[in-house]
Structure 1
Amino acid sequence: MDFQAFVDNIETMTCVISVEMKEDGNYGDIRLVAGNKAYVQSIEAAWDGPQLMSNKFVPNSIYQNYFPKDLNFETVCYRAAVEKHPVHTYVHPERFDFWFDLYLIPLKSEGNMHYCTYTQVVTQKADTKKMANLSQDTASAVLNTCIKLSNTSDFDHTIQEVVKDIREICGAFICCILSVNPIDRTCRVLAEASSEEGQGLTMQSILDEDPNFYENVAEQWEDTIGGSNCLILKNRSDMEYLKERNPVWYESMTTHRVESIVLFPMKFGEELLGYIWATNFDTQKTDQIKETMELTTFFVASSVASVQLIRRLKILSSVDMLTGVLNRNEMNERIERIVSGEDYLRNLGIVFADINGLKRVNDEQGHFAGDRLLKHAAELLRDVFKRCDVYRAGGDEFMIIIPDTGDKELEQFCSELKSKELGFGPVGFATGYSCVNDSQDIRKAMHTADERMYLDKAAFYEKHPELKR
């Protein structure tokens, strides 16, 4: 067939692609055999944005001359050219600023060479109608996810249900939603589900085995995906691609007998929130899995971003930004819950702690030094009062709520705290404590502890009059 004459009769950007099949059953080179005028112009025309690796179209060139190896591209070409299935897909590869509406039609094979047409319509903005043009099974799965996420009051429980659904759709051993934090370079499992066959391998177990998993493996995932919108490894041949691009991850996966992987980035706008991944999935359902995951990931990422924002706002409203302990607003709300009986405790202890000598540090060394002193004091308080709530009541005054305690234990806590070195000369803690059997008497305990702290402070300044504020 005269492929050039064939594509020249098509106005939309179109080329003919060849897929070589080897005797061992694997495919070899995938080439751009011929392109019509519109397709050649899309490669050779100068334009703003990410550039192709070559801007000169040469007939019968391997596709890697123009963009990096892309397993998703190879998969659709193989399905159309070799398996003779017409393919339609709507994608946004990360390497481009465009959405691609792709149509691949099988052509007649010649010996070990198999052919298909590759037609693309390119737009800068997403067409939501095309995004929603899903099969009945996929639409049902995505709708189910949306309903669960939009009607939940318990996000952690719901996201666990969602990941179970995704695992079942994929027919996978393991499915996991993993958040990543590029700032502190950590990964965290948001939800995970496994089949009976996959019980031996979990993402949490991998993170436990490798505390540096982010920098050793996850940080390279974007490069491993290679500018596409996902990574799908179906067999040993595909896993060789992983061996080349991310050898540490390849070694980990093969050690755990992983033979296939689906990996989708979770993005909200330009922010990478994490990944959804599945291992040892049903490779016969690859097309359905890709279609389902592409849209499901969009909704999951949106929900995760909303929850993370709410939690950040909660932290901002409840945590003292200088010291990292709970702030006065959170302290007042906790006291109200205790007084109302909503948060009822027995044998409730209260400790007040104040820093003697902070004013002199501020006056002589500056407020930056004073801030360092306050931060160090908060660290010591958290160290002494482990598993207790520490609040910055204001200035250099802290309050600690200790449940299920007594006077003797409180005295030991205060003695330990006062023995700590703050590291700014003759400064230290003034403390006062009190205990009540009924937590609804918390204000009485606070008043007594506060009075005792000021008596302790007065004794300190009698001993060190030069530090008196």
Structure 2
Amino acid sequence: MFVFVAAGVLTQDLSDGYIRTAGLTINIAFTILILDYQIIDLETSDQTINQKERIILTDPLTGLKSRYAYEALLKNDASPLRERQLTAFSIDINGLKHVNDTYGHAAGDILIKSAAQIIQKTFVGNPCYRTGGDEFAVVVYGSEDRGQELLEKLSKEEQRANQNLQLKVSLAAGMAFSQENPNGNMKELMIIADQRMYNDKRKYYMDPKHDRRRR
């Protein structure tokens, strides 16, 4: 708009002084427009970057934090845990392979989403990650007692959800408290939680009615 008006004034008066004034006005107008476009471009770029970050950091199926976000957590939190109180949880769905093989992967996706909802309801306000096909991780900041309470709550939420689910959810879970390994880091704590989750999973398949081929 500034450029159009200034150019119109320029054609009305050809005196040297007025031409210089109009020319200066045109230059200023161009500068303003260029700056405006640059600001808009930067804002658009920032929005695009933020949108891409959200996509990368969010698991598209469940809405939980993604595997990428989980790996970033382990990479960025490599310091010893001695000064912190937190509990790491490793959670896995029992029987997903059986559901996929019997009812198809669409049914398996439903089971995964149901499991994610149970985890979200249990660990409200704490970062929850989907780390693999049927694998999840959660970090809870607080005392070991708080972690134990949430482990019990997870079982109750699972039972409550299964009252209304056609495909029943069965979760194996393990937890590890930071002060069990105060000189270790987050990755090492998660390894302990993983081991305990697999122990829980073995108990599930020790039941004769749970065929191990249905893992």
Give TM class, smaller chain: 0.7 to 0.9
Quote the residue 1:430 is aligned against.
Answer: 172
Quote the residue 1:243 is aligned against.
Answer: none
Cα distance in 2, alignment partners of residues 358 and 345 from structure 1: 38
Is 1:446 equivalent to 2:190 in the alignment? yes
Quote the residue 2:202 is aligned against.
Answer: 458
Cα distance in 2, alignment partners of residues 313 and 340 from structure 1: 28
Quote the residue 2:93 is aligned against.
Answer: 355
Cα distance in 2, alignment partners of residues 391 and 351 from structure 1: 10
Cα distance in 1, alignment partners of residues 52 and 82 from structure 2: 27
Unaligned runs of 5+ in 1: 1-86, 92-100, 105-129, 147-295
Query: What's the CA shift for 1:347?
Result: 1.0
Deviations 1:86-141 (A, max 9, x none): x97649xxxxxxxxx9849xxxxxxxxxxxxxxxxxxxxxxxxx9x92658x95xx
Q: Which has the higher strand share?
A: 1
**TM-score w.r.t. structure 2 length?**
0.73
- Which of 115, 125, 128 is the matching residue for 1:390? 128
Contact 1:319–1:327, Cα closer than 8 Å, also in 2: yes
Cα distance in 1, alignment partners of residues 52 and 27 from structure 2: 36
Quote the residue 2:16 is aligned against.
Answer: none
More relative contact order, 1 or 2 (CA 8 Å, 6+ apart): 2
Query: What's the CA shift for 1:346?
Result: 0.3
Cα distance in 1, alignment partners of residues 53 and 183 from structure 2: 25
Q: Which has the higher helix share?
A: 2
Query: Where do 1:286-435 residues align within 5 Å?
Result: 296=36, 298-340=37-79, 346-406=84-144, 408-419=145-156, 420=158, 421-422=161-162, 423-435=165-177
Cα distance in 1, alignment partners of residues 127 and 2 from structure 2: 57
Contact 1:347–1:439, Cα closer than 8 Å, also in 2: no
Deviations 1:222-249 (A, max 9, x none): xxxxxxxxxxxxxxxxxxxxxxxxxxxx
Deviations 1:160-192 (A, max 9, x none): xxxxxxxxxxxxxxxxxxxxxxxxxxxxxxxxx
Contact 1:338–1:344, Cα closer than 8 Å, also in 2: no
Letter in 2 for 1:395: G
Query: Where do 1:264-275 residues align within 5 Å?
Result: none
Alignment CA distance shift 1:440-1:300 (3 Å): farther
- For the pair shown, the structure with the greater C-alpha radius of gyration is 1
Query: What's the CA shift for 1:440?
Result: 4.1
Deviations 1:223-281 (A, max 9, x none): xxxxxxxxxxxxxxxxxxxxxxxxxxxxxxxxxxxxxxxxxxxxxxxxxxxxxxxxxxx
Query: What's the CA shift for 1:355?
Result: 0.8
Cα distance in 2, alignment partners of residues 313 and 430 from structure 1: 33
SS in 2 for 1:362: helix
Query: What's the CA shift for 1:426?
Result: 4.1
Cα distance in 2, alignment partners of residues 102 and 424 from structure 1: 73
Cα distance in 1, alignment partners of residues 126 and 58 from structure 2: 15
Contact 1:323–1:374, Cα closer than 8 Å, also in 2: yes
Query: What's the CA shift for 1:401?
Result: 1.2
Identity, % of aligned pairs? Answer: 28
Contact 2:91–2:136, Cα closer than 8 Å, also in 1: yes
Query: What's the CA shift for 1:344?
Result: 8.8
- Aligned-residue CA RMSD (Å): 3.4
Query: What's the CA shift for 1:400?
Result: 0.8
Alignment CA distance shift 1:460-1:386 (3 Å): same
Is 1:133 equivalent to 2:23 in the alignment? no
Cα distance in 2, alignment partners of residues 336 and 440 from structure 1: 13
Query: What's the CA shift for 1:442?
Result: 2.7
Unaligned runs of 5+ in 2: 10-22
Contact 1:345–1:439, Cα closer than 8 Å, also in 2: no
Cα distance in 1, alignment partners of residues 109 and 154 from structure 2: 19
Contact 1:346–1:439, Cα closer than 8 Å, also in 2: no
Alignment CA distance shift 1:461-1:321 (3 Å): same
Query: What's the CA shift for 1:367?
Result: 0.4
Alignment CA distance shift 1:312-1:440 (3 Å): farther
Quote the residue 2:14 is aligned against.
Answer: none
Contact 1:345–1:403, Cα closer than 8 Å, also in 2: no
Cα distance in 1, alignment partners of residues 42 and 131 from structure 2: 35
SS in 1 for 2:85: strand
Contact 1:431–1:456, Cα closer than 8 Å, also in 2: yes
**TM-score w.r.t. structure 1 length?**
0.36
Query: What's the CA shift for 1:391?
Result: 1.4
Cα distance in 1, alignment partners of residues 141 and 192 from structure 2: 17
Contact 1:435–1:445, Cα closer than 8 Å, also in 2: yes
SS in 2 for 1:465: coil
Cα distance in 2, alignment partners of residues 398 and 385 from structure 1: 12
Query: What's the CA shift for 1:299?
Result: 3.5
Aligned residue pairs total 192
